[in-house]
Amino acid sequence: MGVATTLNNVFNIHDGDLWWCTGDIGWITGHSFLLYGPLLLGTTTLVYEGAPDYPNPGAWWNVVEKYGVTKLYTAPTAIRHLMRFGSKYPSLYNLSSLKILGTVGEPINPEAWMWFYKNVGKEKCPIMDTWWQTETGMHMISPLPIAPLKPGSATRALPGVDADVVDDEGNPVPVGKGGLLVIKKPWPSMFRTLYNDEEKFINTYWKEVPGCVYTAGDIARKDKDGYFWIQGRSDDVLKIAGHRIGTSEVESAFVSHPAVVEAAVIGKSDPIKGEVIKAFVILKEGYQLKTQLIEDLSRHVRYELGPVAVLGQITQVDSLPKTRSGKIMRRVLRARDRGEDVGDISTLEE
């Protein structure tokens, strides 16, 4: 069981399908889910080189129409990027060949999920929001095509995967509370070591939580139906007045405002609260970050998350530092904000 098997289980690939994964070829979602997995299944896979908005924001939808793509697998950050151009461009093309949509790379906020579902899938294509890692070698938490969906949730662990959300001592946390995402027993495609770093493999992944469980390094919560909601990386947690809050939760709150298409947040030192939120936002066309909008965004985020979401500063930007796989590099934002060395940024796309 591995890339090919989980592709087939989650995306229900058959002869006659045309699979398109938009991941960069240097990322595991590129080489393994774009080339090796589909070819092992005997399906046809499409390889595309180019930006999603060049020569215009309809570039991807033109590819779908021209070649009859049936299964489209992409990143939430790409969806949010294309959202800024509205529904005009998807409506210009015939996307009726699409059967299933997929997302990967980071948590997808409900607003992006719904935009993708309505404007690209035309409300007929289920969205397979997949959680996994390079280290796991396969999808771990994901819907099956027949699963009831909730916008923003990766639903449940796949059959044979024993996932849970626990505290620092390995105890399951209450429903709705955030905790550490762990895998509680081995799985077929698990990695067995790190190249030239056996010590890190053991101590980082297997000893952070008591009980010899695999610690993914992500924060998540489970709802009353047992659905997983990925909240972000455990090292991307803000601590405001003693309360822990995930960066992805704050970013999702920003994006749920009609003026914001994409956001990234970092913690900024505060003598009273310990940390406050500094946000970098990309606005939709026609909006400017003026006093009234700043006040509206502050109220909106506090309404969505509660009084703990204390905003210190909001900055409008044209782009965010991302890897080619679409993940926002918050460490780069933090380093730039503090005037520190940003380190290796050779993998950045923007």
Nearest of 62, 57, 73, 89 to residue 17 by alpha carbon: 73
Report DSSP letters for 242-291, one per residue: TEEEEHHHHHHHHHTSTTEEEEEEEEEEETTTEEEEEEEEEEPTT----H
**Domains in the chain, number:** 3
Residues 6+ apart with CB under 8 A from 8: 41
Mean pLDDT of the chain: 88
* Domain end among 110, 129, 148: 129
Query: Any idea which of 2-6, 90-94, 186-190, 289-293 has the lowest mean pLDDT?
Result: 2-6
CATH number at residue 223: 2.30.38.10
pLDDT at 64: 97
* Domain end among 182, 217, 232: 232
* Domain end among 202, 217, 232: 232
pLDDT at 271: 74
- Is position 144 within any domain? no
Containing structural domain, residue 202: 163-232
Confidence of residue 231 (pLDDT cuts 50, 70, 90): confident
CATH number at residue 60: 3.40.50.980
Residues 6+ apart with CB under 8 A from 92: 58, 61
Q: What is the mean pLDDT of residues 11-24?
A: 85
Confidence of residue 1 (pLDDT cuts 50, 70, 90): low
Q: Are residues 122 and 170 in the same domain?
A: no
| Amino acid, res. 158 | L
- Is position 208 within any domain? yes
CATH number at residue 326: 3.30.300.30
Query: Any idea which of 30-39, 78-87, 183-192, 270-279 has the lowest mean pLDDT?
Result: 270-279
- Taken as a whole, the chain contains a residue count of 350
Rounded distance between C-alpha atoms, residue 184 and residue 163, angstroms: 6
pLDDT at 327: 75
pLDDT at 311: 83
pLDDT 10s digits, 82-118:
988 889 999 999 999 999 999 998 888 898 999 999 9
pTM of the model: 0.77
